[in-house]
A = this chain, B = another copy of it.
Amino acid sequence: MEKETAAVARNRKVVLRGYIDRAPREDDMELVDGGDVALRVPEGAAAAGPAVLVKNLYLSCDPYMRSRMRDFQGSYIPPFKPGSPIEGFGVGRVVDSTHPGFSAGDFVSGMTGWEDYSLITKPEQLRKIQQSDIPLSYHLGLLGMPGFTAYVGFYEICSPKKGEFVFVSAASGAVGQIVGQLAKLHGCYVVGSAGTNQKVELLKEKFGFDAAFNYKEEPDLAAALKRYFPEGIDIYFENVGGPILDAVLLNMRVHGRIAVCGMVSQHGVTAPAGIHNLFSLISKRIDMKGFIQSDYLHLFPQFVDDITKHYRDGKIVYVEDMSVGLESGPAAFVGLFSGKNVGKQVVRVSQD
């Protein structure tokens, strides 16, 4: 009965200060006092259509958000608005709703703002979460966009076959850790790369990769891949771009597949690193395919069923890097681009 007992609350926001064309820095964002917010859907908003007022609990830090900090309209998603809160996936609790599908107290995931309370004027994009043994924040990772990206990318783009040789870059990240575990469940041989020895250990000990290496300790990446894949790579799940992709191209097998998911090493770069070995696409007849999970939303229910079952059966684990407090959001986000995060980066705004 929040409507009666707490008519207003203080709202803080993390806003974008202005567009950038380089790797993001903490001071590109700013925590501002958003004043009081009435804990109900305002009458004006309600008149424009159903709306939901959400208390944000967990916010997701995802590399693609970097592209919304540029003043570029030509992408599949528009840029952020300077002075307005950063937008991203989040998990929240419904405070008030004029949409018949949502009631106060419901837990939801979907696009929200980096603030304590968000008024969601397109509630049809929200998903209701059934609370269970699965941590709420996992709906931003294992059961959210990154997990679905891994699922779609591996099964729909990579066309995996049992026994194939799979390489995953940024392998301990939000997407990579799931790709590797799905590939193992599929009967593939899986090697991952990461940027610290701690992450390499995680890949081998926690996620069950067959092998893993620290790419920063390999002066010759092509030679390293040759060592881990003497017979070559059938499937490369591409999360980073740059020199690793070039080295992979020299080590692919005939009829190999490359699922191009992210190029996080190139996100902050005005002049992205050149890729020099694309001639391998011809000699090895490689299919290199970019994809975005939102093209495959018809598979989402199946994904949730499959992954939930694997998780409950103990066949998939998930590692998160939780940063505490809305004010920690900018640093957490910026850390993605230097690989500071260990596992899926989320920001806990509130526990209730």
Query: Which of A's residues lie within 8 Å of B, judged by CB?
Result: 67, 75-76, 241, 245, 254, 260-263, 266, 271-292, 295
Contact = CB atoms under 8 A, between A and B. Distances in A.
B281 A260 contact: yes
B289 A288 contact: yes
A275 B272 CA distance: 9
B281 A290 contact: yes
Nearest to A67: B283
A257 to B, nearest CB: 10
A246 to B, nearest CB: 9
Given A241-B278, A260-B281, A283-B292, 4 more contacts: A241-B279, A266-B279, A275-B278, A282-B291
B290 A289 contact: no
Contact of A261 (B263, B282, B284): B282
Contact of A274 (B261, B274, B283, B289): B274
A291 B285 contact: yes
A268 B241 CA distance: 25
B278 A260 contact: yes
A290 B283 contact: yes
A289 B291 contact: no
Contacts of A245: 278
Contacts of A286: 289-290
Contacts of A271: 276
Contacts of A285: 289-292, 295
A260 B282 contact: yes
A282 B274 contact: no
Contacts of A287: 287-290
Nearest to A274: B274
Interface centre among A76, A276, A290 (most CB of B within 10 A): A290
Contact of A292 (B262, B263, B282): B282
Nearest to A277: B272
A287 B291 CA distance: 9
